[in-house]
Chains A and B, each alone.
Chain A
Amino acid sequence: MAIDTARYRRRKRRNTRTSVLSLLATVLGVGILAIILGTLVYKGFGGLGLDVFTEMTPPPGSAGGLLNAIVGSLIMTAIGVAIGTPIGVLAGTYMAEYGRYNKLTMVVRFINDILLSAPSIVMGLFVYTIMVAPMGHFSGYAGAVALALLVIPIVVRTTEDMLLLVPGSLREAASALGMPRSLVVQRIAYKAARAGIITGVLLAVARVSGETAPLLFTALNNQFWSTNLNAPFSSLPVVIFQFALSPYADWQRLAWVGALIITCAVLALSIAARWLSSSRTSQ
């Protein structure tokens, strides 16, 4: 039996080529992540001091911090999540518990998946037309609603997925004891899926806290300390956007510091969410 050596070599070469190329792709992907994080730390860490967290955003040419922007972001994110989470959880509950196999659920799931990746700037435009234009001014409320619209699809998706993982026998056992359906959902299914649902909320917070586009023309920005949600409201991403595009060196420096803070916060949230969901599955 003659072995076709040339063909064998060709196949081997081709295999090596594929392996090397995919290895290079991986090195490139991970390398870019390292470079981005490295640049952030290099540019942002030097400006990171206590005054970043205690001083207001400065006018150009003077020292200052990011306090009002950080607090503004926290407040708007909190309200956005507070509005979006109940709606998202309830919608996910309907899809997993009541209408698991009906048409409505299929349609909602399809539309929700589209909203999940819909351009966030369009959500900003939408909130502008329904809230900012009628009210006549930019406001923190409008910003929070825009963020809530981004929270809902994420929470719907994770809630439904997590409730579907709850074994049906748990629900049957509770129903057999005479528990009404709503209590079965609230006391049994929610409890069993709690870690997963919290993971979804954390992911939503992580996604929303870095969003800039929907805030640009809903909350706008505010240079000063303000907790009046009915007025233009400061937020960290918008401040980074303005400061980075400004010609002033000290504003640009603060933009890097803000970028470092946001990235650390978002990465910490994603890691917490991941840890939470992995500790649940290992149980």
Chain B
Amino acid sequence: MVDVTLHLPTRSSEAEAERAVVLGKLRRGDSIFRWLTLGAAVSVLIILGAVFVSLIDGSIPAFRQFGLGFITTESWNPVTEKFGALAPIYGTLITSALAMLFAVPIGLGIAIFLTELCPPLLRRPIGIAIELLAGIPSIIYGIWGLFFFAPFLQRTLQPALIDTFANVPILSTLFEGPPYGIGILTASFILAIMVLPFITAISRDVFDTVPIVLKESAYGIGCTTSEVVRRVVIPYTRVGLIGGAMLGLGRALGETMAVTFVIGNAHRISGSLLAPGTTISATIANEFTEAVGELYTSSLVALGLILFFITFLVLAAARLMLMMLERKAGK
């Protein structure tokens, strides 16, 4: 018995030491893993910060040379090294605005159809088809736009627009000149087709947050579907719809390949929507590898900075609005 009492403590202290080693290992592994995940999470912030810093750093020569006049000058001449961002900024804003003008009503229409009118059997297939449209790479839209859609518009819509509005005061300048096929209007159409799936998918999800009781009570007092949509669904989801549209706008502003194919790459601001133009992203895509000289490269990076800044603001606003809706739905 004495033997046992003598042995037990030594044995258990051995086991305890072993246990401490294992526990220490686990504890170390635990904190290593925790710090790893924390580091990864912080790296997301670092990426955004680094993008901003490197773009600002790269665009310093351009802004030092041209000052804020860079943003308000139209000329873009690599030979004389005179650069101004006005034409690409104008092109980016006008194509995105037009794209939203086409895509938002159609996207809302599809979302209304899917949530209120569609027979349940078709709801899933159509929803999936629209979402697949969102997955197609933008270069496909570009090549399709260049070889199929632009010639199609050149033959049909553009001559019709020119003829119809030839004698109407303001519209005649908007639809002036020969039907090139490519140009601002075509780029806007392609952009609209590209952002349509995003806007549709978000609008549909947002419509689904409307409590069914609200809709049912509206139907119950005899409202028609159109009245339910206009008076109940849309007012309830207004913030989310605007957020979704702005998310689409953010995509449209930064879209590169689809636009590069069909915009025509002309560094000038034209009153006509049928004329070729350029956007910030198309300019960078076309000219960056060929840019010689520090000032040229720096001007292109400055364009990138302007684009990133604009999309950042739009996307941030969109997210804030969607968050507001989520909070409302969570209550």
List which B3-47 residues lie within 8 A (CB) of chain A: 26-27, 29-30, 32-34, 36-45, 47
Given contacts A94-B38, A97-B37, A129 and B54 within 8 Å (CB-CB): yes
| Chain A contacts for B253, CB-based, 8 A | 119
| Chain A contacts for B37, CB-based, 8 A | 90-91, 93-94, 97-98
A211 CB-CB contact with B under 8 Å: yes
List which A228-283 residues lie within 8 A (CB) of chain B: 237, 240-241, 244-245, 252, 255-256, 259, 262-263, 266-267, 270-271, 274
Binary B-proximity of A84-119 (CB < 8 A = 1, otherwise 0):
001111110111011100001101101111110111
| Chain B contacts for A183, CB-based, 8 A | 26, 29
State whether A18 touches B30 (Cβ < 8 A).
Answer: no
B160 CB-CB contact with A under 8 Å: no
State whether B225 touches A15 (Cβ < 8 A).
Answer: yes
Give, as a whole number of angstroms, the nearest-CB distance from B304 to chain A: 4
| Chain B contacts for A213, CB-based, 8 A | 138, 256-257, 281, 285
Minimal Cβ-Cβ distance residue in A for B125: A30
- Name the contact of B132 in the complex, choosing from A28, A39, A267 (C-beta under 8 A): A267
| Chain A contacts for B43, CB-based, 8 A | 87, 91
| Chain B contacts for A94, CB-based, 8 A | 34, 37-38, 40-41
Give, as a whole number of angstroms, the nearest-CB distance from A92 to chain B: 8
The docked-state distance in angstroms from the alpha carbon of A26 to that of B112 is: 9
The docked-state distance in angstroms from the alpha carbon of A259 to that of B141 is: 10
State whether A266 touches B288 (Cβ < 8 A).
Answer: no
Given contacts A126-B51, A129-B54, A25 and B307 within 8 Å (CB-CB): no
State whether B143 touches A123 (Cβ < 8 A).
Answer: no
B85 CB-CB contact with A under 8 Å: no
The docked-state distance in angstroms from the alpha carbon of A71 to that of B38 is: 35
Looking at chain A's contact residues, is the secondary structure mostly helix, strand, loop, or mixed? helix
B126 CB-CB contact with A under 8 Å: yes
The docked-state distance in angstroms from the alpha carbon of A128 to that of B112 is: 44
| Chain B contacts for A266, CB-based, 8 A | 135-137
B110 CB-CB contact with A under 8 Å: yes
Given contacts A130-B50, A206-B135, A266-B135, A108 and B289 within 8 Å (CB-CB): no
A54 CB-CB contact with B under 8 Å: no
Binary A-proximity of B169-182 (CB < 8 A = 1, otherwise 0):
00000000000000
- Name the contact of B44 in the complex, choosing from A108, A122, A125 (C-beta under 8 A): A108
B129 CB-CB contact with A under 8 Å: yes
| Chain B contacts for A270, CB-based, 8 A | 131-132, 135
B251 CB-CB contact with A under 8 Å: yes
State whether A30 touches B34 (Cβ < 8 A).
Answer: no
Binary B-proximity of A17-31 (CB < 8 A = 1, otherwise 0):
111011111101110
Given contacts A110-B319, A180-B26, A23 and B135 within 8 Å (CB-CB): no
A173 CB-CB contact with B under 8 Å: no
Residue numbers of B with Cβ under 8 A of A are 26-27, 29-30, 32-34, 36-45, 47-48, 50-51, 54-55, 57-58, 105-110, 112-114, 116-118, 126, 128-133, 135-144, 146-148, 193, 196-197, 200, 224-227, 229-230, 247, 250-251, 253-257, 260-261, 281, 284-285, 288-289, 300-301, 304, 307-308, 311-312, 315-316, 319
Given contacts A93-B40, A266-B135, 19 further A-B contacts (CB under 8 A): A18-B229, A19-B117, A19-B226, A22-B116, A24-B109, A26-B114, A29-B197, A30-B126, A36-B141, A91-B37, A91-B40, A91-B43, A114-B48, A115-B47, A207-B135, A210-B138, A216-B285, A217-B288, A270-B131
Residue numbers of A with Cβ under 8 A of B are 11-12, 14-15, 17-19, 21-26, 28-30, 32-33, 35-36, 39-40, 43, 86-91, 93-95, 97-99, 104-105, 107-108, 110-115, 117-123, 125-126, 128-130, 149, 152-153, 156, 180-183, 185-186, 206-207, 209-213, 216-217, 220, 237, 240-241, 244-245, 252, 255-256, 259, 262-263, 266-267, 270-271, 274
15 pairs, A vs B, C-beta closer than 8 Å = A15-B226, A18-B230, A25-B110, A30-B130, A36-B133, A36-B141, A86-B40, A94-B37, A104-B42, A117-B254, A130-B50, A210-B137, A213-B281, A244-B147, A263-B140
